[in-house]
Structure 1
Amino acid sequence: MPHKKAKRTVREKLRTEKGTDLAPGKDSLQNEAIPKSAARVFNSQAIRDDFKLKKRKMEEEGVGRAGKKQKTDKKVTLTIQPGESIQHFNRRVEDDLRPLVKSAAQSSRAFARGVAKAEHEARITAKKTKLKPKDAEQEELKPRSHDDSPLPTPSDKFKDRRKEFEVASSSTPKRLNDIAQAPPEFKKLPRGASTLPGIGKRDGVLSMSQKVMMEQEREKAILRYRELKAKRRQTGDVGERLESGGEE
């Protein structure tokens, strides 16, 4: 089969041979199937007419009221339909059983409420027979409690346990945003700390007499150092002369 398009002359020749007024082929729109949604719309009038005819016949025969389903005594067993999956079948079963379960739960709750009410009334009548008329009236006015026994008080099992952050007890009042006027004073040393002699603020201050004595001692030390240095220089010079004379 050639991939190239036929020449114009060839195409025009074939068109003239086929003609123009031809019957539709197999691929025309007339041979295509109508979609289901479109067919439902087209046939809606016919379906409505059939429903009205059936309704008129049922009203004439008196089988039942229109628009309501007839109740049948026969129990229909739920079976899986051909082509239906297990998931859809389970969902259909749940939908059918849901109203039955709901009605059963409502009836059981109503029965339980009736039993509780009967027991309460019997308890009140028994108390009325034992108590005086005034006491019985007061008992009726009291609000009902679900349980007469007092609730146990919860016990804290971590009450005696030592807390991680304990608050030191102090007599000074605690105020928010308090400003410290002076640094804290530690009068008692921590455990394991060595005791040091007490040093006051004025221990490092010298008097005038002490300053004069220190100046004198400083001058004496300087003089002794200078004398010692001069002696070493003299002995060093004599030794160098002796060594130089011996070499000559």
Structure 2
Amino acid sequence: MPHKRAKKSTRELQRLQTGSDLAPGKQALESEAIPKSVARVLDAVHIREQWKSRKRMPEDDLDAIKPGKRRKTEKGDRGELKTAKISGILPGESLQHFNKRVENDMRPLVKNAVQSSLANARKVRTTEMNAKKKAKAKHAEEAERSPSPPPIPSKHADRPKEFQTISSSAPRRLNDIAQAPPEFTKLPRGAVWPDETRNAGKKRDGVLSMAQKAMMEDERNKAIARYREMKAKRRSDGADGS
């Protein structure tokens, strides 16, 4: 089909060739789809009668029963109804209305399935809780029947829990003045006496040997002799200068 419209002369030539008194084609008004709003008005009587007949249906018919809350039927497991029969798209019906109709038909079945699954979950949860309670009760009974074992002795049971105190008749005051330095008669653990202190402690203070006394006497005589020489030299220098 060309994108642009043909010229007027070409269109008039085609109209003369085809003629005017022709049979209806595929796109005639008789075979055209009726809009849904018009079809609803034309089929109003039929829809009303169908609704009345559905209301008059007996209660024993499972197809007529609507799934209520926690409703159970004789046929089926726990309120499960027969699968709804969904017809295809109707003539003149849009895809949006068709999807809405399918959802409305399937909503009771989905709701019933959800309710049944929730009921099963609650039942399983209740069963598990009861089993746990029975196990706890059984364990408590066994604990009461069996004698309790003796307590395990603790490693720190014999240790003193309070510090030892020393009783003294002399009261202690905050600003006491020490009268003498402390005396340590025993070295702390791991300490060793140095050699000088150890050797010095063995000898008495002020006691010298004979060799030390002789050495000190020689040094004293040398110092006296040097002093006398220095004094005599000063006197001789003073006499020469005068």
Q: Same fold (TM over 0.5)?
A: no
For the pair shown, the structure with the greater C-alpha radius of gyration is 2
Name the TM-score class by shorter chain: under 0.3
- The structure with higher relative contact order (CA 8 Å, sep 6+) is 2
**TM-score, length-normalised on structure 1?**
0.26
**TM-score, length-normalised on structure 2?**
0.27
